[in-house]
Chains A and B, each alone.
Chain A
């Protein structure tokens, strides 16, 4: 998996470097040392837009596609109001990494994809704290992936809070399915 996500990732890295270079530059007032800087705003183009041409193939054809790889990846689930990973979650993560490694290597496109982590919460509260909670869940997964040797630049994150449920029943089992981090592969 490390080889998958590391080797020959020049295109992806260059793309991501271009994005991060135009992101907000921040003054940290708590340190009291850095000066305010002008920031470049809203002139970014997404990695997905600039990587045109690398798209999934027919799902029904039996050919390995981005969607078919994603379908094999198991989400990481979390306890109520928690964002720490348990040992079994780390094992699941490593299994996911091996799946992605094998399939994208077979496609010979291992160096051309970005991993996107989507943090989610159950329906208990839709406020900012819960969006942050979803993001911390994604970040916990990201840090574990980095510990496994995956470059941080190849991982993006977004939190959907409680706005992207996979289950809408009013049961404990259902809510537990929504406290999760999903994995997406982006061209």
Chain B
């Protein structure tokens, strides 16, 4: 079986070397996998919630056909449950309570043989979701598939619950874990401030004047960084965390600025009479950004300090948001001029090195595209039929997954 999977992934890698080329493969060719719950503790439903999140993660790995039926088993036995005899792989887990600490034992079984074991301890069982994601990523690595480290990342969203009312939540990519850190007022556009994700920037509009704050999710510090009339959004943070790209408009003119965190200096990077926003750092001291300088929003790039501006996207009538990773840009494009159309805004992927373009979504309003650090996955926000969801696109696997939010709308997201 592993040889088969190896051949399969070799083929996928060959075709997937350009992510703008859509890979189609038969779901039936994937090995099957099932999950068995061997927990005796945590009968309050935690072990079943653990099951559901793990099944969902295995599905998102996109390397298995996942059996979703709940089953129990004896953890110590090597043979699998009768209903799983025809299944290629079984993940069996056991949750054990030990003086408030949750111990998690996991086995990956193939043909009644234990192929891999995983053991963890977690002090706060409420955060079990992140542990499940870690386990899924480890199974993925064991199978030799494309890395999915992004699964383990903390995600931050702003959720609007009414006019001028929103809260900022720390969550995971499935929205299974939710922890509110800012509840009162209008707090929007959260953006992680550092790779360790101990701090984040956000815009507070609570007092009617846009303010950029830096918030510590562990020490709960909240520092006002800047104020600006009009609008003020942190669009991107440099890899070292020392520079911010801001969309701001101190005199009513939305342009892109760069803020040096250490010496508190602000540079104006664009100077156009229309709209310049949503800047992203590219390699070689360049930025990509959204501008309506040709009469409609589109993706442009420029070198910091240079006047020359380069158009990056030539397809789409109205491209109002983007994310960049190496030679790839994923952008939001308006598909229809009819606001009532089902496919109003879709995401597209282009390579700056080729002419290929690939549409990543089909229906609804799809926005806030964000590449994972490895560039293999895109996270986004989807609004469709009064439902707001987090979407995950596995580019090389050609798979999309949605995780709906219960209550409210997702205003913005960062991971």
Interface residues of A in 23-59 (CB under 8 A from B): 23-32, 36-39, 41-42, 44, 46
Question: Per a CB cutoff under 8 Å, which of B230, B278, B412 touches A129?
Answer: B278
Taking the nearest CB of chain B, how far is it from the CB of A141, in angstroms? Answer: 10
Contact assessment for B205 and A158 in the assembled complex, using a CB-CB cutoff below 8 Å: yes
Contact indicator B230/A27 (Cβ below 8 Å): no
Say how far B357's CB is from chain A's closest CB, in angstroms. Answer: 20
CB pair B267 A135 closer than 8 Å: no
Report the minimal beta-carbon distance from B266 to chain A, rounded to whole angstroms. 5
In the assembled complex, which residues on chain A have CB atoms less than 8 Å from the CB atom of B230? 135, 138-139, 157-159
Q: Considering the chains assembled together, what is the distance between the CA atoms of A46 and B229 in angstroms?
A: 11
On whether the beta carbons of A125 and B345 are closer than 8 Å, the reply is: yes
Name the B residues within 8 Å of A164 (CB-CB): 163-164
Distance in angstroms from B289 CB to nearest chain A CB is 10
Query: Which residue of A39, A129, A175 contacts B297 across the interface (Cβ within 8 Å)?
Result: A129
Are B264 and A139 closer than 8 Å at their CB atoms?
no
Contact between A28 and B268, CB atoms less than 8 A apart:
yes
Q: How many residues of A contact B (CB 8 A)?
A: 53
Q: Chain B residue with minimal CB distance to A126?
A: B411
B231 touches A131 (CB 8 A): yes
Report the separation of the CA atoms of residues A24 and B229 in the bound assembly, to the nearest whole angstrom. 10
Segment 51-69 of A: residues with Cβ below 8 Å from B: none
Please indicate the chain A residues that have their CB under 8 angstroms from the CB of B235 in the complex: 128
Taking CB atoms, residues of chain B closer than 8 Å to A159 are 210, 230-231
Q: Mark B186-198, 1 if CB is under 8 A from A, else 0.
A: 1011000000000
Q: Are B264 and A38 in contact (CB under 8 A)?
A: yes
Contact of B224 among A42, A122, A127, A161 (CB under 8 A): A42
Chain A residues with Cβ under 8 A from B189's Cβ? 128
With both beta carbons as reference points, the residue of chain B lying nearest to A124 in the complex is identified as B339
For B, the interface residue count at a CB cutoff of 8 angstroms equals 63
- Check B164–A160 contact: CB distance below 8 A: yes
Q: Decide: B278 and A24 in contact? CB cutoff 8 A.
A: no
Q: Judge if A101 is at the interface, Cβ distance under 8 Å.
A: no
Mark each residue of chain A from 121 to 161: 1 if its CB lies under 8 Å from any CB of chain B, else 0: 01011111111111110110010000000000000111111
Bound CA span A27–B266, Å: 6
8 Å CB contact of B268 from A29, A126, A131? A29
* Distance A153 CA – B265 CA, assembled complex (angstroms): 25
By beta carbon, the residue of chain A nearest B265 is A36
Asked if A139 meets B253 with Cβ closer than 8 Å, knowing A42-B226, A159-B231, the reply is: yes
Q: List 14 A-B contacts (CB under 8 A).
A: A26-B268, A27-B268, A30-B268, A42-B223, A46-B207, A116-B208, A126-B411, A128-B189, A131-B254, A131-B277, A158-B205, A163-B188, A163-B411, A172-B339
Which 6 residue pairs of A and B lie closest in terms of their CB atoms, listed nearest first? A132-B254, A129-B320, A139-B252, A128-B277, A42-B224, A28-B268
Q: What residues of chain B have their CB less than 8 Å away from a CB belonging to chain A?
A: 160, 163-164, 166, 186, 188-189, 205, 207-210, 223-231, 233, 235, 247, 249-250, 252-254, 257, 263-271, 274-275, 277-278, 290, 297, 304-305, 307, 318, 320-321, 332, 339-340, 344-345, 365, 367-368, 386, 409, 411-412
A residues apposed to B, CB below 8 Å: 23-32, 36-39, 41-42, 44, 46, 80-81, 116, 118, 122, 124-136, 138-139, 142, 156-161, 163-166, 170, 172, 175, 184
